[in-house]
Amino acid sequence: MAKSKLDRIHLAVLHNELPRVRALLRRKRSRIDLADNRGATPLMLAALMGMPKMVTFLLEKGASWQLVDQSGHVASDYVLGHVAEQMKTRDRTALKTQYRTKPAGTLKFQRCGTSLSFSKLIAKVKLTCPIWQNRTAACITPGDSLRPKICAVSGWASTSSDGLLDGEKYTQIVRDMAEMLGIDLKKHCYDTPGGGSPEEREGNVGRFNASHAEKLLGAFWVCEQLTFAFGSPDLSRLHELKDLNLPPHRQSASLYLDHRPCIPCRQFLAAIQHATGIKICPFTQAQVREAVKKQREEKSRSGRIDPPTDAIPTND
């Protein structure tokens, strides 16, 4: 078995030498996600050794939860056994905020007329353009947890935002997976907006229905388990997942979305469960649309300025 080749920052993390890690990052910030020859990052090693202060510090400095090692594991997969039990009982809010010098942003206060709502922030993703009202936003979490693995917005556009699924890549994966599962992705007038040539229209049949956020995230979750089990997201081995004893947090997932899932999407998730044994449950959540505050140049005749509305709940 080959030995791991460790950089100085890996050794400092393993020895729980926080001042040394801080000094190394000051000299070279790019070390924050430096991987050893097995793909393990400093954050993964800190999680493996059960070092909450080190984990918090690395996250504060921008370490990524999303990176995977050569076996397909992310940092959260390194928390095993008694360490996992300790982390479950730990005051997580305090753990995340002990190094902050500004508001943590873990709670959101929404004021609307005579009502005040409190929301817990579990993820925030920056987009390159606004989300139109007819597009679905969603995220997927292992089991029944509330820590998103990744988020998605319906559509087949190519995206490169951190924490957001690439719609172009996974729309094609959904189409390939649907063919293997015997799912018919119906033709839609939006498959090729603007018309296009007959050949283009024929090649895009089913693209609109494949680009629904529920299907994109379902395909992503299956690919994650294929990579975990076999080292690559090879769809030809899809049905082999049913015979494997996957860890409990990989056998099921919760899919949270801001629109009611359509029947074809539910059928797609049911087909995944039938073929692989992996259960993905969709849960519709309330949607809140925030109003943009506009500066008022003039006061009303009475000299009063009406307070702006911070958030407008929708009934979608």
Say if residues 313 and 288 touch (Cβ distance below 8 Å). Answer: yes
Q: Where in the chain is the domain with CATH 1.25.40.20?
A: 8-97
Helix (H, G, I), strand (E, B) or coil at 83: helix
DSSP 148: -
What is the structure's pLDDT at 170?
A: 95
- Rounded Cα gap, residues 46 and 217, in angstroms: 29
Note down pLDDT in tens along the chain; length 316 residues: 445 578 899 999 988 899 999 999 988 888 899 998 888 899 988 888 878 889 989 988 889 888 888 878 888 777 654 444 544 454 545 444 444 445 555 677 778 788 887 777 777 888 877 777 778 899 999 987 888 999 999 998 888 778 899 999 999 999 999 999 999 998 888 888 777 777 778 888 889 999 999 999 999 999 999 999 999 999 999 999 999 988 888 999 999 998 888 899 999 999 999 999 999 999 988 776 655 444 444 444 444 333 333 333 333 3
Q: What is the pLDDT of residue 103?
A: 54
Q: How far apart are CA 216 and CA 227, in angstroms?
A: 16
* Contacts of 107-112 spanning 24+ positions with Cβ under 8 A: 110/288, 110/310, 110/311, 111/310, 111/311, 112/309, 112/310, 112/311, 112/312, 112/313
| pLDDT given for residue 190 in this prediction | 83
Backbone angles phi, psi at 10, to 5 degrees: -65, -45
The H or E element spanning position 92 is helix 92-97
**Element spanning 109, H or E:** strand 107-112
Helix (H, G, I), strand (E, B) or coil at 265: helix
Whether 162 contacts 180, CB under 8 Å: no
**pLDDT value, residue 21:** 93
CATH superfamily, region 8-97? Ankyrin repeat-containing domain (1.25.40.20)
- The conformation of residue 283, written as its DSSP 8-state character, comes to E
**pTM exceeding the 0.75 threshold for the entire prediction:** no
Check residue 252 and give its pLDDT: 92
DSSP one-letter string for 36-75: -TT---HHHHHHHTT-HHHHHHHHHTT--SS---TTS--G
How far is it, in rounded angstroms, from Cα 291 to Cα 139? 23
